[in-house]
Structures are given as structure tokens and as C-alpha cells.
Amino acid sequence: MPAILLAACGGGGDGGEPAPVPPTIPITGTWTESEPGSGDGMVLALSTQIGVDTPGSLVVVGTGTYAKTASTTGTVSEYGIYTTQGVTFGLTYDDGSIASFDGTVIDSSHIAGTLTRKDGSSSPADFVRG
């Protein structure tokens, strides 16, 4: 009976394989876009938590601020997933626009990736802790 309960809770692996391991580099904290272009930029406060049905990954949630141009600023919320292969999250801006971020956690102080907007345009987006 214990083996059945373990499998039902998402623990253990399939066919004797070990359960997936979540990422070990912590990303909870404040992240600032390292080289925003043309007045654009973001500061994100991210946190992670273990997902109920996502062994081997962490759920990413957060809020932050953005500047789309020197005169357009506001708030943004994030929701996504962090695995050993990378971090991906959607962004919802207070003006209703959306974007997605797909990146790699380089180390405990650097995340590098690509920000893709709803219109399909994309640009590099690299973040540093702090």
C-alpha cells in the first residue's frame, strides 16, 4: 500500500527511475534587467514554490515594475515554471499587454533569456540579482 500512495502523490519514478529533481540554484528574490534598451526595463520580485503535480520543477510567481519608455511605467505580474532546463514565465502588465520570458539560470546572480511580446517581436532580457 505505501508504494501506491507514493505514486499517487507524484513521488517516485516510473519503472524504477528516480523521481525528477527540482533545480538547486535559488531564484527567489529581486531581479533587475541588466541592460534595458531605449528606456525600457523591469525589476521583478520572484518567488518559487513546489508545485503539487510538478515533480522536478518549481512554480514561479512574482510582481514587479516596468518602464516601456521613459514616460510609460507600471506594474507587472509573473507566473511560470522553473526546471533544471530553464525558467519560463508569462508576464501580465497593468495596461493589459502580455509577454513571455524564456531563459536560463546562469548562476545565483544571473538569468539570461528572451522576452517575447504578444506581437511576436522579441529581444534579449538578462537579469541580475539585486
Residue 102 sits in a domain whose CATH number is: 2.40.128
Alpha-carbon span 25 to 31, nearest angstrom = 14
The answer to whether position 15 is within a domain reads: no
The answer to whether position 60 is within a domain reads: yes
pLDDT at 113: 96
Alpha-carbon span 93 to 78, nearest angstrom = 9
The answer to whether position 12 is within a domain reads: no
Strands of the chain, DSSP E:
29-33, 41-50, 57-69, 72-83, 86-93, 98-107, 110-117, 122-129
Alpha-carbon span 14 to 27, nearest angstrom = 29
The answer to whether position 90 is within a domain reads: yes
Backbone torsions φ then ψ of 96, nearest 5 degrees: 95, -10
Alpha-carbon span 89 to 80, nearest angstrom = 4
The answer to whether position 49 is within a domain reads: yes
The answer to whether position 8 is within a domain reads: no
State the pTM of this model. Answer: 0.80
Tally the domains of the chain. 1
Q: Residue 6: pLDDT band by 50, 70, 90 thresholds?
A: very low
More confidently predicted of 35 and 125: 125
pLDDT at 38: 59
Closest to 84 in 3D by CA, of 12, 11, 19, 14? 19
Boundaries of domain holding 111: 20-129
pLDDT, tens digit (0-9, with 9 covering 90-100), for 21-64: 889 999 999 999 977 665 678 999 999 998 877 788 999 999 99
pLDDT at 4: 38
The answer to whether position 87 is within a domain reads: yes
pLDDT, tens digit (0-9, with 9 covering 90-100), for 78-121: 999 999 999 999 999 999 999 999 999 999 999 999 999 999 99
